[in-house]
Amino acid sequence: LLKYGLDKAAQEFGWLVDAHLMPMPRVWEARAAVETGGVHAMMDLSDGLGRDLPKLSKASGVGACVYADKLPISADLRTAAEVLGMDPIDLAAGGGEDFELLMAVAPEEVIKVIRAVKETGTSVTEIGEIVEGAVEIAYADGRRGPLRGGWEHFR
């Protein structure tokens, strides 16, 4: 949006712009997940995964490992990243204002929570696990590093 302006960005990346300007709160999905009894913690990703997961982890006294190859990255986001000269993983981890849900679920409860949320018509992606230590991102080539990105309101 900043690089191209609203009209050109909407023409090039229509649904990405719509998702940014008109996010859909995941109220029904959150309710369905909570009703399973399997959710230990949950928040929306309004500030982006790279900013919100560390908040959730710090509040819970745990670390987390996100698997880069499991992040849901649409073909449109990959195209936008290419046009902008950016890494699609960085965009997926740093994007926000979309109200997607981040949930911490015990491994034995994951399938139950996924099924419950899918009944609302929304898909769920398991992107990582809770670990001891820091919040990291693990890449398919074996590299690991800090999870970065997201929106900082008070800079």
Above 80 in pLDDT, residue 36?
Answer: yes
Average pLDDT over residues 96-125: 93
Comparing 12 with 91, which gets the higher pLDDT?
A: 91
- Closest C-alpha among 111, 70, 83 to residue 12: 83
What order of strands is seen across the sheet that includes strand 135-138?
128-131, 63-67, 135-138, 144-146
Helices then strands, each counted (H, E), the chain? 7, 6
In the prediction, which pLDDT does 94 show?
84
Residue 75 has pLDDT above 90, yes or no: no
CA atoms of 5 and 1, how far apart (whole Å):
5
pLDDT at 12 over 80: no
The encoded tokens of residue 10 equal 């909407």
pLDDT at residue 11 greater than cutoff 90: no
Q: How far apart are CA 60 and CA 37, in angstroms?
A: 18
- List the alpha helices (DSSP H) in 88-154: 88-94, 110-118
Q: Which residue has the higher pLDDT, 85 or 14?
A: 85
Does 53 have pLDDT greater than 90? yes
Residue 149: the pLDDT is 76
Does the reported pTM lie above 0.95? no
Per-residue confidence (pLDDT) for residue 152, from 0 to 100: 66
- The average confidence (pLDDT) of the chain is 89
d(CA 53, CA 148): 10
Residue with tokens 């009944």: 119
